[in-house]
Amino acid sequence: MAELVSFAVPTESDKTLLVWELSSGPTAEALHHSLFTVFSQFGLLYSVRVFPNAAVARPGFYAIIKFYSARDAHRAQKACHEKHLFQNSPVKVRLGTKHKAVQHRALALNSSQCQELANYYFGFNGWSKRIIKLQDLSDLEERENEDAAVPLQKQSLKFFCALEVVLPLYGCRSPGVGMAEEPLEKLEDGPLSFLMKRKTTQKLAIQKAVSDAFQKLLIVVLESGKIAVEYRPCEEITDARTEEELQDLIQVSYFSWKQDGQGEEECLSDLSFEEDEFKPPELD
């Protein structure tokens, strides 16, 4: 069956691995590096988090690893459970299957995470972005000409960006918008500081627009390993967008292709856990 991978923070338990019985010898930082090296061989990782065992348990660590793909997480669990990996004793790896009763709206990935995910599935040359509009909404000159000057600390730089992410191999275009605002607090900063802050604000607006564009795309990973893309403009994903951004959104044409018979792979594991509630298993 096909698997769906979205440009959102993975919260599904079938994409989360619990690794315990990690040795107490290495530091948490060293364990993080070792775990990332081992588990990234099975697919793109969203996060690797290492925690010390509870005081009542044997000294050591456990880790929670999140994949973007449930299929990759399942393969990693089967391959690594009861294996020594990078230490003398075997580790235990389980895949979560328990779902929370309250389903929260998906949390959007930031721009760099979206690009990392796109590079992994589409390739570095498999996608591009095209800026349609980058508009300065600061109105600083207008304020300077007013009779009653506005204190600088109440002024700010504001930029709006509209762009589209283009996937030429899939005939797909996805529009996105972003708004960024940075306050101007110190008059003595000088023109160089002003230009640097202006550049930073522009970059932030572009990054938000890139993230917004990717949220409308869904990666369809077929069982054969081939990739398809679905465009879904009405998907609700948590993102801080103002009414002004929505009003300024520039509509662009797009073509979407949806593969028939798509579905999410079922996960075959017997362990249930919640990340926030988990306590390492008691050891004999």
| Domains, in order of start, for the chain | 10-95 (3.30.70.330), 111-235 (3.30.390)
Judged by phi (left if over 0) then psi (alpha if -120 to 50, else beta), residue 217 lies in beta
- 159-178 pLDDT per residue, tens: 999 999 999 999 999 999 99
pLDDT for the residue numbered 140 = 66
- pLDDT of 227 > 90? The answer is yes
What is the pTM (predicted TM-score) of this model? 0.75
From the CB of residue 214, how many other CB atoms can be counted at a distance below 10 Å? 25
Residue type, 5: V
What are the tokens at 204?
């932030």
User: What element of type H or E holds 208?
Assistant: helix 190-214
In sequence order, the 6+-apart residues with CB closer than 8 A to the CB of 33 are none
CA distance 192 to 10: 40
- 175-205 pLDDT per residue, tens: 999 999 988 775 556 788 888 989 999 999 9
Span 151-161, mean pLDDT? Answer: 77
Span 37-51, mean pLDDT? Answer: 96
